[in-house]
Amino acid sequence: MENNVIEQVFGKNVFNDEVMQAKLPKDVYKSWKKTLETGADLDIDIANVVAHAMKEWALEHGATHYTHWFQPMTGVTAEKHDSFLSPATESKPVLEFSGKELIKGEPDASSFPSGGLRATNEARGYTAWDCTSPAFLQEDAAGVTLCIPTAFCSYTGEALDKKTPLLRSMEAVSKQAVRIMKMFGHEDVTKVSCSVGPEQEYFLVDREKYLQRKDLIFSGRTLFGAAAPKGQELDDHYFGAIKERIAAFMKDLNEELWKVGILAKTQHNEVAPAQHEMAPIFTTANIATDHNQMVMEIMRKVAKRHGLECLLHEKPFAGVNGSGKHNNWSMVTDTGINLLNPGKKPHENTKFLLFLTAVIKAVDEHAEILRLSASNPGNDHRLGANEAPPAIISIFLGEQLENIVEQIVSGDVSTSIQGSKLDTGVHVLPVLRKDATDRNRTSPFAFTGNKFEFRMLGSSMSIADCNFVLNAIVADTLEAFADELEKASDFDTAVNELIKREITAHQRIIFNGDGYSDEWVVEAEKRGLPNVKSMVEAVPYLIADKTVSMFERQNILTKAELESRAEVRYENYAKTINIEAKTMIDMAGKQYIPAVISYVTSLADSINSIKAASDAADVSVQEELLAKCSGLLASAQKALGKLKTVTAEAAQKDEGIEQALFFKDAVFAAMNDLRAPIDELEMLVDQDFWPVPTYGDLLFEV
């Protein structure tokens, strides 16, 4: 009897390999495994048997419905539930689920963002089973639902989701990496997959208080709010002891994640008050992406059970750190070799150096789209704002690898710096071995031992985007390398020459210093590295010629698909800022301004009644406050008028880049102008009059 909760619940709600092996006839199981390994098309007869087994298993676990679970370009997941009830019923219900229903679904494609790929009347879209990501059961108030991870495309075959390009990009990396491995004599490698481990940051606030903040409800972030007397300056929250209420949430969250097979591993308090982090153990990129979407949904759901609200916005509170997501990424062969593992003597590890060179070249040549893959309206508040990595992409390699890079460039490669013993000066402590390299938390793209950590992502994002970009640019670089090396008469000489040439050409992207410093911005400009300051400014790179040809060469996205994605980005930006602006208009007009009017009226009444009671009484404090608050009230009203005007003006702009830029420049500025006087008033007005919970209430009273 398993008595540890992990053993009891782990994978309980997953139609995983073990269940399949138990439920499927042996020959079907074998062909099924073969399909997975070779990536061949799935046979409908096999699909029928798998569907039957899946249905039986789901019914045993109480499922009444199934759904094709997919990831449209909204960034959140979508599901449409169908019960297992068959239409051919008379008196007794017949529960059926066919191979056809398993592999193909037909949701209406017209109501999801398509960026012009689909007209409203062209509604047909298909979901196709991603059989490499296991089906799972979702338990909630709707009962138990069998969720089948799927990709989503249009009637004409264009990708309408985030998963299709991800799957295509994984195939591209595999194809090219296998070619390279063969040249190194690894004939047995038939597949290379991308491994991904995303670290997820989030805030938890009290749900009662959350429900009193329309800004949090509608936009996910506070649009007003003066700083609390205490912020994160004492560094006492990071890794601090976890409060009971939060610990109860984490316990519950872990169990829910384990049930659906998510390898929840690490949990801790983060830098900002009320901020936390969860990291799972890495897995294959598409599964990691599905899991991360599930993590975000389950976090939200579990929080509510504990009277909490989980905020996944990148910047829920001004003045304290926002939330990001770190995407740890590597490539691993089906024979178990991590291609980014440097080994003990990386300077002699040519295979590693070649893959490393490919990543460096790829990131340098396509920095702008990598930056875009980590952009959303929320992350604009973070990137380059002294808490997240800067908006400039650079690569941190660490002392050991940077030293090797220098040796490669100078043409004499002979040593690898080794880790030494760590001297703590305390004899009772064990002797520790130091890593050969320190860490750098200011780098957006850091080598961390045997993987790269892309640290620019925002907390609410799907990790599909950055992974398909990363896979695509690395696949494209590996393809060029493979083409060149396959032609060489002497492989060893050719590969060393290639590494030297490419490392030298792309050395500018390597930076081990402080990425937050002003000096780096100047230095990066000298090096010619792009500094794309905002999401909207990054979008055009998605349809730049070099991007289009790269994605088309790798069969990941066509020009039309890329153009549609650019449209979706502009639209999403404009809509997000529009919602924020309208929420501010609503709150200022209906909550803050009336509250301040009540307060100044009470001040005026008080002045009048005191004066009436005694001519000699000193009412200078009240008068001063009255003057100050009335002045700020007038500023707020004026700023509100301005915000209304520019928001209305924005609606008239041509959709696309023009409108998005107007929202970024004009509307956003007007929003800040409205926030300023209201935040100042918050510090003056009697708290009994203040209509919403404050930063102090939200961040410290969890």
Residues that bind Mg ion (CB under 5 A): 326
**Is the separation of the CB atoms in 699 and 317 below 8 Å?**
yes
Binder to ligand ADP among 75, 125, 197, 324 (CB under 6 A)?
197
Q: Which two tokens stand for residue 404?
A: 């090797």
Min CB(327)–ligand ADP separation in Å? 9
Pairing label, strands 143-154, 308-311:
unpaired
The helix (run of H) or strand (run of E) holding residue 454 is strand 452-458
- The answer to the question of residue 8 lying near ligand ADP (CB under 6 A) is no
In the complex, which residue's CB is closest to Mg ion?
Answer: 326
**Is the separation of the CB atoms in 532 and 370 below 8 Å?**
no
Q: Which two tokens stand for residue 369?
A: 């789209």
Min CB(194)–ligand ADP separation in Å? 8
Considering only CA atoms, which of 640, 671, 680, 669 is closest in space to residue 219? 671
Output 338 or 602, the one with its CB closest to Mg ion. 338
- The answer to the question of residue 156 lying near ligand ADP (CB under 6 A) is no
Q: Could you tell me which residues are beta bridge partners of residue 454? A: 327, 445
Min CB(201)–Mg ion separation in Å? 11
Output 103 or 196, the one with its CB closest to ligand ADP. 196
Binder to ligand ADP among 212, 267, 338, 558 (CB under 6 A)?
338
Output 328 or 394, the one with its CB closest to ligand ADP. 328
- The answer to the question of residue 267 lying near ligand ADP (CB under 6 A) is no
Output 127 or 442, the one with its CB closest to Mg ion. 442
d(CA 215, CA 219): 5
Residue 281 binding partner per list ligand ADP, Mg ion, none, with a CB distance cut-off of 5 to 8 Å that depends on partner kind: ligand ADP
Binder to ligand ADP among 195, 222, 376, 400 (CB under 6 A)?
195
Pairing label, strands 324-333, 452-458:
antiparallel
Considering only CA atoms, which of 170, 203, 180, 152 is closest in space to residue 351? 180
Instruction: Quickly list H helices, 588-694.
Output: 593-613, 620-652, 657-662, 668-682
- The answer to the question of residue 457 lying near ligand ADP (CB under 6 A) is no
Binder to ligand ADP among 212, 350, 450, 531 (CB under 6 A)?
450
- The answer to the question of residue 279 lying near ligand ADP (CB under 6 A) is yes
**Per-residue 3-state assignment (H helix, E strand, C coil) for 26-51:** HHHHHHHHHHHHHCCCCCHHHHHHHH
Q: Which two tokens stand for residue 402?
A: 């940077």
Output 249 or 447, the one with its CB closest to ligand ADP. 447
Residue 440 binding partner per list Mg ion, ligand ADP, none, with a CB distance cut-off of 5 to 8 Å that depends on partner kind: none
Helix count and strand count (H, E) for the chain? 24, 17
d(CA 242, CA 97): 45
Residue 279 binding partner per list ligand ADP, Mg ion, none, with a CB distance cut-off of 5 to 8 Å that depends on partner kind: ligand ADP
Q: Which residues ranging from 299 to 328 are in contact with ligand ADP (CB under 6 A)?
A: 328
**Which segment (236-244, 446-454, 455-463, 615-623) binds ligand ADP by CB under 6 A?**
446-454
Min CB(327)–Mg ion separation in Å? 10
Query: Sign of torsion, CA 687 693 699 700?
Result: positive
- The answer to the question of residue 451 lying near ligand ADP (CB under 6 A) is yes
Residue 602 binding partner per list Mg ion, ligand ADP, none, with a CB distance cut-off of 5 to 8 Å that depends on partner kind: none
Output 53 or 463, the one with its CB closest to ligand ADP. 463
Output 449 or 691, the one with its CB closest to Mg ion. 449
Q: List Cβ neighbours of 157 (8 Å cut-off, separation of 6 or more).
A: none
Output 114 or 283, the one with its CB closest to ligand ADP. 283
Output 288 or 600, the one with its CB closest to ligand ADP. 288
d(CA 564, CA 116): 6
Residue 630 binding partner per list ligand ADP, Mg ion, none, with a CB distance cut-off of 5 to 8 Å that depends on partner kind: none
Q: Please state, in angstroms and as integers, the Cα–Cα distance from residue 118 to each residue in 79, 107, 109, following that order.
A: 20, 14, 8
Output 79 or 453, the one with its CB closest to Mg ion. 453
Min CB(446)–Mg ion separation in Å? 8
Q: Could you tell me which residues are beta bridge partners of residue 275? A: 203
Pairing label, strands 445-447, 395-396:
parallel
d(CA 653, CA 641): 19
Q: Which residues ranging from 575 to 604 are in contact with ligand ADP (CB under 6 A)?
A: none
- Residue ranges binding ligand ADP (CB under 6 A): 195-197, 199, 266, 279-282, 328-330, 338, 448, 450-451
